[in-house]
Chain A
Amino acid sequence: MWDYTDKVMDHFRHPRNVGFIKDADGVGEVGSMACGDALRLMFKLDEQGRIEDVKFQTFGCGSAIASASALTEMLRGKTLEEAEKLTNQDIAEFLGGLPEQKMHCSVLGREALEAAIENYRNGTIGQVQLEGRVVCICFGVTEEKIERAIRENGLSTVDQVTNYTKAGGGCGGCKDEIAQILERINGHLAVKESQPEVSKPKRKLTNIQKIQLIQETIDREIRPELKKDGGDVELVDVDGDKVILSLRGSCVECRVAQFTLKTLVEPKLKSFVSEDLVVVEAK
C-alpha cells in the first residue's frame, strides 16, 4: 500500500467540493478511463472575478481524488490570475507530499485548472488538446508536456518523467526519446546557469513552513524507519538551516547513531525540505 500522508487520506476519505456546477463559467476536463485517471473541474466566478464556487468529479486512485479535492480548496476565493500561478508542486505540497510515482495526479489537477481557465477565456471545449508532437503514444503525452514537467519540477531521470507525466509508463518504447529530451533541457540549463547538474528548484519556504515540513518529514519518512529498530528522534529546534534533533529509544545507546543521522536522517530532510539543511544532535 502507498504511504500516503494523513492529509492525502483525509482528502480521499472526505473529498471537498465534489459535484457538478450546471452553469459553470469554466469547465476543464483531462485524462480518460483508458489512462486510468480523469478529472473534470468546474468553477463559477463572483462579481469581483474571484472563484466563488468550484466543484470536481474524478475517476482515479486515492491520490487523484485527494489532489482534486486539495485543488478546489486552494482555488476558492482566488482570481484567475492568482489561480493560474498554481503549480502541481503546490498541490502536492498542500497535501504534505505525494509518493513520487503519484505525482502525475497533481499534474492532472493543474492541467484541469488550465483547461477550465482556457474554457472561460476563449470558450474552448475545456479539454486539453494535444499540442505538439506526441512522444508517448500509450498515454498521449506530448514533447511540450514532458519539457514543461522537467522544467517545472527539476526532473533529471526518465523514471521521474514517467512519474510526473506517465510518459514511458506503458510499452516503454519512448524512454530513449525521453532521455534525449532530458539531456537537451538539462544541458541547456547547464549552459544557461553554468552549473554542472540540474538540481531541483529550491522551494521558497517561510520559517514556519520549513519547520512544519521538517516535522512532517520526520514523522512520515524518518520515524517509521528508526522505530523498526526500537529507536526514535525528536525535533528540538531549527536554527537557520541547522536542524537540531534529539535521539530517543535505542538510538540513545546506539554506537552508530551519528552514522544514522548523516546517512538516513539528513538525506531525507535534504530531499524533502531543502538541500541546505544540516542535521546536528542536541547536546
Chain B
Amino acid sequence: MSRTVYLDNNATTMIAPEVVAAMQPYLTDFYGNPSSMHSFGGGVRRQVDQARASVAALFNATPEEIIFTAGGSEGDNQAILGTLELLPSNKRHFITTRVEHPAVREVGHYLRDQRGYRLTELPVDSDGALDLEQLERSIAEDTGLISVMWANNETGVIFPIEKIAAIAKARGVLFHTDAVQVAGKLPIDLKKIPVDLLSMSGHKIHAPKGIGALYVREGTKINPLIHGGHQENGKRAGTENVPGIIGLGRAAELALDGMSEESGRVRALRDRLEKGLLASCTDSRVNGRNRLHNTLNVSFEFIEGESILLMLDEYGICASSGSACASGSLEPSYVLRALGIPFTAVHGSIRFSLSRYTTDEDIDAVLERMPGIVDRLREISPFVQKEA
C-alpha cells in the first residue's frame, strides 16, 4: 500500500507533534493529582489552569466558563440535560434540528420518549440551510432550550449561529451549539455572540481523543452529569485527564495561531478537489452549500459508497461515506436524507474532510484514483446500462 492519504478529518485528526510534546511530561514526570495539597500536584494544577485559559481564548471566553469533558458527546449531553432539569417545570420544550450529531439528536429523542418533553426537530432545505423564521415560530412559552450545531459534520454546512443565538436571547430561551466541527477552524467570539453553551472536542483539532470542553456562559445554571467530586468547580466530578487537558490547551493555541492562514490554504485544496472530481466524474454532485472550508461531500450516482471507500482504501486513501452499507445501520445518512437528496445519490456519497496537514499530493492522489474507481464500479452497476 502507498502512503496514507488521510482525508477523514471530520471523523478524527492526527495529533499534532507539538501537542504530543506538550503532553509527554504529564504522562511520565508530572503525574501529580491537581487536587492534591502538595506542590507536586499544585504544579500540575497551574498547568491545567493554563490549558483552560488557552481553550477559553479560542472562544474569547473566560477560563471560569470552561469545563473540561471527555469530548463532544459528553459536552452535548451535559449542556442539554444539565440545563433543562434546572429550568422551571413548565419549560419542557426542546428545539433542535434534523441534522444534529447523534449526541444531540438522540438526547432529544430520549427527552421526548423517556422524559415526556415536547421536541421540535427543524427541517433543512436542499442546501442544508435552516429557515430562521420557522425556528422563531417554533419557540413557545414552554420552550426551555434550543440546540443547533454550528456546522454539520457530514456536509460541512454552516448555520448562522449569530442570528440563531440572538433570536433565542430575544425570546429568553437558552441556546446551546455543538461546535465540534468549527472550533479551531472558524474564529468564534462569544463576547459578541450570545451563545449560552458550546461544546467542542479535542480530537477534531489535533488533540487526543477523550478530551473536550464545554463552555458555559457565566451565570448559566447547569448540573453535572458526573457526580462524586468537586473538580471543575463542582460541574464535572472525577480526577482530571491531565495529559489530555494539556494537549487540548496546546491544540487550542496552535489552532488560534494558524487559523487564518490555514483556512485559506485548506479551502484552496478543497476547492481544487471539488472542481477536479466534478470535472472528471460524470453524474456527480456536491451536497450542501455554504460549507466549512475543509469539507466536501460528493455523491456519485449509480454506485455505492462502501465499495468506493474500499477501493480508495486500496490506494491508502481514507475518506467516509453516508452510505448505509458502510455503517451498522441499513438506513443511509439521515443528514443527507434531510437535505432531500435522493436515495440514489445518498448511497453513493463520499465525504472528504481536510486538515492543516493535507497536502497538494493528497489531493492529487484522489484526483488520480477516483475517476478509475467510479468507472470500475459503474461497469458493474446494473443502473448505468439502464440509463444509457
Indicate, yes or no, whether A interacts with B.
yes
Which B residues are CB-close (under 8 A) to A62?
306-307, 310, 325
Minimum CB–CB distance from A204 to chain B (whole Å) comes to 31
Please, how many angstroms separate the alpha-carbon atoms of A20 and B388 in the complex? 14
Please, how many angstroms separate the alpha-carbon atoms of A64 and B310 in the complex? 13
Determine which of A15, A18, A64, A169 lies in contact with B304 in the assembled complex, contact meaning CB atoms within 8 Å: A64
Which A residues are CB-close (under 8 A) to B379?
18
| Contact of A61 with B304 in the complex, beta carbons under 8 Å | yes
Identify the 7 closest CB pairs spanning chains A and B, nearest first: A169-B330, A61-B325, A61-B306, A57-B382, A40-B382, A34-B343, A33-B344
Interface residues of A in 1-38 (CB under 8 A from B): 1-2, 9, 12-13, 15, 18, 20, 29, 33-34, 36-38
Q: Mark B30-73, 1 if CB is under 8 A from A, else 0.
A: 00000000000000000000000000000000000000000000
| Contact of B313 with A169 in the complex, beta carbons under 8 Å | no
Which A residues are CB-close (under 8 A) to B324?
36
Q: Mark B340-368, 1 if CB is under 8 A from A, else 0.
A: 00011001000000000000000000000
| Contact of A36 with B310 in the complex, beta carbons under 8 Å | no
Please, how many angstroms separate the alpha-carbon atoms of A78 and B163 in the complex? 68
Task: Tell me whether A60 is interfacial, beta carbon within 8 Å.
Answer: yes
Given the contacts A166-B330, A169-B330, A33 and B310 also touching, CB distance less than 8 Å: no
User: Max chain B CB contacts within 10 Å: which of A13, A33, A102?
Assistant: A33
Which A residues are CB-close (under 8 A) to B132?
none
| Contact of B323 with A29 in the complex, beta carbons under 8 Å | no
Task: Tell me whether B326 is interfacial, beta carbon within 8 Å.
Answer: yes
Q: Mark B170-187, 1 if CB is under 8 A from A, else 0.
A: 000000000000000000
| Contact of B307 with A1 in the complex, beta carbons under 8 Å | no
| Contact of B307 with A38 in the complex, beta carbons under 8 Å | no
Task: Tell me whether B256 is interfacial, beta carbon within 8 Å.
Answer: no
Residues of A within 8 A of B (CB): 1-2, 9, 12-13, 15, 18, 20, 29, 33-34, 36-40, 57-65, 101-102, 138-139, 162, 166, 169-170
| Contact of A162 with B310 in the complex, beta carbons under 8 Å | no
Given the contacts A61-B306, A61-B323, A33 and B330 also touching, CB distance less than 8 Å: no
Residue pairs across A and B with Cβ atoms less than 8 A apart, 19 shown, are A33-B343, A33-B383, A34-B343, A36-B347, A37-B304, A37-B325, A39-B382, A57-B382, A59-B303, A59-B381, A59-B383, A61-B304, A61-B306, A61-B325, A62-B310, A62-B325, A101-B328, A102-B325, A170-B330
Please, how many angstroms separate the alpha-carbon atoms of A33 and B305 in the complex? 12
| Contact of A38 with B380 in the complex, beta carbons under 8 Å | no
User: Max chain B CB contacts within 10 Å: which of A20, A61, A102?
Assistant: A61
Which A residues are CB-close (under 8 A) to B325?
36-37, 60-64, 102
Which A residues are CB-close (under 8 A) to B380?
15, 18, 57-59, 65
Q: Mark B309-331, 1 if CB is under 8 A from A, else 0.
A: 11001100000000111101111
Q: Mark B74-99, 1 if CB is under 8 A from A, else 0.
A: 00000000000000000000000000
| Contact of A12 with B304 in the complex, beta carbons under 8 Å | no
Please, how many angstroms separate the alpha-carbon atoms of A9 and B310 in the complex? 9
Please, how many angstroms separate the alpha-carbon atoms of A166 and B330 in the complex? 7
Q: State the main secondary structure of chain A at its contact with B.
A: mixed
Which residue of B has the minimal Cβ distance to A38? B382
Minimum CB–CB distance from A174 to chain B (whole Å) comes to 13
Which B residues are CB-close (under 8 A) to A58?
380-382
Please, how many angstroms separate the alpha-carbon atoms of A174 and B368 in the complex? 45
Which residue of B has the minimal Cβ distance to A162? B330
| Contact of A59 with B329 in the complex, beta carbons under 8 Å | no
Please, how many angstroms separate the alpha-carbon atoms of A65 and B306 in the complex? 11
User: Max chain A CB contacts within 10 Å: which of B304, B313, B314, B324?
Assistant: B304
| Contact of A33 with B329 in the complex, beta carbons under 8 Å | no
Which residue of A has the minimal Cβ distance to B332? A36
| Contact of A59 with B304 in the complex, beta carbons under 8 Å | yes
| Contact of A38 with B347 in the complex, beta carbons under 8 Å | no
Given the contacts A33-B343, A36-B332, A61 and B326 also touching, CB distance less than 8 Å: yes
| Contact of A60 with B331 in the complex, beta carbons under 8 Å | no
Which residue of A has the minimal Cβ distance to B347? A36
Which B residues are CB-close (under 8 A) to A34?
343-344
Minimum CB–CB distance from A178 to chain B (whole Å) comes to 13
Task: Tell me whether B2 is interfacial, beta carbon within 8 Å.
Answer: no
Which A residues are CB-close (under 8 A) to B309?
1
| Other contacts beyond A36-B325, A59-B380, A61-B325: 14, CB < 8 A | A12-B307, A13-B314, A20-B385, A37-B304, A58-B380, A59-B302, A59-B303, A62-B306, A62-B307, A62-B310, A65-B380, A139-B330, A162-B330, A166-B330
Minimum CB–CB distance from A160 to chain B (whole Å) comes to 13
Which B residues are CB-close (under 8 A) to A59?
302-304, 347, 380-383
Please, how many angstroms separate the alpha-carbon atoms of A207 and B379 in the complex? 40
Given the contacts A29-B382, A60-B325, A61-B323, A36 and B330 also touching, CB distance less than 8 Å: yes
Q: Mark B369-383, 1 if CB is under 8 A from A, else 0.
A: 000000000011111
Please, how many angstroms separate the alpha-carbon atoms of A15 and B328 in the complex? 24
Which residue of A has the minimal Cβ distance to B378? A59
Which A residues are CB-close (under 8 A) to B302?
33, 59
Minimum CB–CB distance from A70 to chain B (whole Å) comes to 14
Minimum CB–CB distance from A185 to chain B (whole Å) comes to 22
Determine which of A9, A61, A169 lies in contact with B331 in the assembled complex, contact meaning CB atoms within 8 Å: A169
Given the contacts A33-B343, A38-B382, A40-B382, A61 and B329 also touching, CB distance less than 8 Å: no
| Contact of B383 with A1 in the complex, beta carbons under 8 Å | no
Please, how many angstroms separate the alpha-carbon atoms of A33 and B381 in the complex? 10
Please, how many angstroms separate the alpha-carbon atoms of A37 and B309 in the complex? 16
Please, how many angstroms separate the alpha-carbon atoms of A12 and B304 in the complex? 13
Please, how many angstroms separate the alpha-carbon atoms of A39 and B343 in the complex? 17
